[in-house]
Amino acid sequence: MSHYYPPTVTGPLDQYDYWDREVSAGRMFECDQCGEYGNSSDEYEHQRSDCPAEHGAAAYWREAIYNEHAEPPTTATGRFRTDWLNARRRALTEGQNQ
C-alpha cells in the first residue's frame, strides 16, 4: 500500500500499512462488521461477544427489520445488552409517536 504515496510521508498512513501487512500475514485480523483491528488469537472472542456491530445497537436495527421485539443475542455482554435494549426502547417509542 505504501506505493500510493511518497515514502517521505510519516504518520498515521504508515500505521495502516503496518496493519495491512499484519492482517495479510495472519498475525492480526480486521473485523468485517466494525472495522476493528486485533490479534488473530482474539478474533473468535471478538466475533462471539465483543463486536459492537454484531451485539450492540447497530445489530438491533438490522434485526428489527424482521422482528421489532428481538431479544439481544445470548452472547452479548452487559454493555451491549443495554445498548440493544435502549435501541429497542427508542424504536418502540418512535413507532408510538408516529
Kindly list the domain boundaries of the chain, sorted by start residue: 2-50, 52-97
pLDDT tens figures, 20-77: 777 778 888 888 777 777 888 888 887 777 777 777 777 777 777 777 777 777 766 7
What is the structure's pLDDT at 98? 58
Q: How many CA atoms lie less than 13 Å away from 59 in the CB half-sphere? A: 23
In angstroms, the CA 64 to CA 28 distance is 32
Q: Each residue of 7-17: pLDDT tens digit?
A: 665 666 666 67
pLDDT over 50 (residue 2): no
- Determine the pLDDT at residue 83: 82
